[in-house]
Amino acid sequence: MKRASFLLSMILLAGPAYGQSQTCGTLKATASKNATNYQWTVSGPSGNTTETGALRGAPHFECVDSAVLVVEVTFTAGHSTFAAYFPDGTDIDYGGQQIVHRNNRFVLPIQAKARIASQFRGAFDYHCHMEMPADPITPAMRAECAF
């Protein structure tokens, strides 16, 4: 009996890692794990996007502004990624080190703002820490940065 209780508790604790999902407006994300890798799929207006990787833990799904689906993953090699999927079919991707969590909000590089549909720009805050010669931060953009 103790063995059965132990096995049941292990299955319950492992449950979210072996099959999880998040629905966010017209978008849905699901994740599953096999012996070595996680697989996650985002379904939405532009179809399905499926990725597979060796992760430190299950992908983290979050719904922003009841419409934007955020997927964050950390690979066993140590690097992480952030992707935001929008109901119009667009998405943005950044390395996790470029994204900050502050006051329960995602803070994205200011360069991302122009790539986000205007109705969803207010769902995020923006920082000016990512200087790129090919995508410079103008003085007007800098005025909109949280830090």
pLDDT in tens, 82-130: 999 999 999 999 998 999 999 999 999 999 999 999 999 999 999 999 8
Residue 10: predicted pLDDT: 39
**Residue 4 included in any domain:** no
Residue 147: predicted pLDDT: 83
In Å, how far from its chain's centre is CA 106?
10
Q: Quickly state the pLDDT bin for 69 (edges 50, 70, 90).
A: very high
Domain count along the chain: 1
Q: Quickly state the pLDDT bin for 71 (edges 50, 70, 90).
A: very high
**18-51 confidence digits (pLDDT tens):** 469 999 999 999 999 999 999 999 999 889 999 9
**Residue 129 included in any domain:** yes
Residue 91: predicted pLDDT: 95
**Residue 9 included in any domain:** no
Give the domain extent around 34: 18-142
**Residue 96 included in any domain:** yes
Residue 12: predicted pLDDT: 38
C-beta of residue 87 within 8 angstroms of C-beta of residue 42: no
**Residue 2 included in any domain:** no
Q: Quickly state the pLDDT bin for 56 (edges 50, 70, 90).
A: very high
**Residue 65 included in any domain:** yes
**Residue 10 included in any domain:** no
Residue 26: predicted pLDDT: 97
**Residue 45 included in any domain:** yes
Q: Which residue, 52, 50, 53, 69, is CA-closest to 61?
A: 69
